[in-house]
Amino acid sequence: MENKTEKNNDYSLPVSELVQLIKNHLEDAFELVSVRGEISNWSCSSSGHCYFTLSDKFSSLSAVIFKGDIPRNPSVQLIKNGDEVKIVGPINVYPKRGTFQLIAKTLTLSGKGDLLLEFEMLKKRLAEEGLFDLQSKKKIPLYPKKVAIITALGGAALTDFLNVYCRRAISSNLLVIPTLVQGEQAPASIIKSLKLAIEAERMIDVIVLTRGGGSSEDLSCFNNENLARLISSSPIPVVSAVGHQIDFTISDFVADLRAETPTAAAEILTEYQTKIKEALRNKMIRLCRQMQVMILTFQRRVDLVSPWNFLKILENRLSSFGKSLEHAGHSLERNRGIKITDMQLLLDDYLKRLVASFKEKHLLANHKNEGFFSLLHSLDPRKILQRGYVILQDEEKKSIISSLKDFSRLEKKSSLVVEFHDGLGEVIKKE
């Protein structure tokens, strides 16, 4: 069929007309079909329609049974993922997205699907061999120095993991090994990537096998038997973070640790580092508070011995004495008629000389005070640490290691905290 619209001397179909042509031909050719397959991704919307995927080992097909057809199909109430069903209905094309789906008019149960049966059989066989036993699980290191992440580049799983890990970890030494996580080639790709990580055993402390959520068909590559056996035999601990919380794969059961999501895996691996960061932050806060208390204490002491304070006290006392003498003089003049002008002048002279003497002493005291401040500043613990010194502390007993004798008394592999001027570090005594 030709389109009469001409553009640039070329006759071409708009997308909508092409999709409509496909819709007409496809719906006419498959007006009523009978198909058998396995149910997955079963979900019912608030409108009452139920959407699902019908699949076998090689293909998948989107399908729906509308609300009006459900009363005629009582089997719908019993449907669950993994059931094998027989469906009769037409093929429908949705023009807006250019997709097609099977409209289920009748739906009857046939039993469990092949994919679910294979999953359960493999799970049972590996469990009987002991691949799921907790005793065989390797311990995940509390502080992994290097983490290998096996996942698809550009996927949400990698982004989520990196965001959480880099935000919570003290240091982020990560190795991303790209791999396919969906499709027929995915199992071989994942196995190849896992072998690469295992070959670098001395460099890597833990391996994270991850991808985002998806249908059971999307996650089927993680149900591969060869992959399960490779995970089990890996000398490096393996964390499986495949899918969402409700998803389970064979890799989850055989791995040394199963995380519900990629984000959960990052949180688990950085939990100990987060505690260290929090402890350091709390110690820094306490240290700052202690320094503030010390500064305030020294400031009060300095204020108490300040020459200005002494001079003010003496001036107040002299002023009080002067007033008392003046009052006494007036009393003598009134009562005895004795003039004390000369005595007053002499007292004023003494007062001037006394004030001059106090000012001179004040200058001397001020110089001494500056020397005290300089000494106090030089004795600031932070200034000493900035010159290259450190404080060595037994982390368990919280005691300062100030001599070789104290250091020799420590047990082997004792954990020591090294305090620098800009933070804390941790070392282990080897001998």
pLDDT tens readout for residues 231-269: 999 999 999 988 776 778 899 999 999 998 999 999 999
User: Which is higher by pLDDT, 29 or 378?
Assistant: 29
Closest CA to 232 of 208, 251, 213, 214: 251
**Alpha carbons 174 and 262: distance in angstroms, whole number:** 14
381: tokens are 């613990």
Residues, the chain, total?
A: 431
Residue 111 confidence (pLDDT) = 61
Residue 161 confidence (pLDDT) = 92
Beta bridge partners of 277: none
Residue type, 405: K
Quick: pLDDT tens for 196-208: 999 887 789 999 9
363: tokens are 């200058």
Instruction: Say which range, 99-113, 146-160, 335-349, has the weakest mean pLDDT.
Output: 335-349
Start-end of CATH 2.40.50.140 domains in the chain: 6-112
Q: Does 11 have pLDDT greater than 50?
A: yes
User: Which is higher by pLDDT, 129 or 410?
Assistant: 129
The CATH superfamily assigned to 119-269 is: Response regulator (3.40.50.2300)
User: Which is higher by pLDDT, 330 or 232?
Assistant: 232
The CATH superfamily assigned to 6-112 is: Nucleic acid-binding proteins (2.40.50.140)
* Most confident segment among 3-7, 63-67, 72-76: 63-67
Residue 4 confidence (pLDDT) = 47
Quick: pLDDT tens for 31-64: 888 898 999 899 998 888 999 999 988 888 999 9
Start-end of CATH 3.40.50.2300 domains in the chain: 119-269
Q: Does 106 have pLDDT greater than 60?
A: yes
**Is pTM, for the whole model, over 0.75?**
no
Where helices occur in 200-305 by DSSP H, the ranges are 225-233, 250-254, 262-269, 271-304
pLDDT grade, residue 122 (50/70/90)? confident
Mean pLDDT, the chain, as a whole number? 82
Q: Does 147 have pLDDT greater than 90?
A: yes
Instruction: Say which range, 67-71, 79-83, 116-120, 138-142, has the weakest mean pLDDT.
Output: 116-120
Q: Does 2 have pLDDT greater than 50?
A: no
DSSP of 72-137, one letter per residue?
G-GGGGG--TTEEEEEEE-EEEETTTTEEEEE-SEEEEEEE-HHHHHHHHHHHHHHHTTTT-GGGP
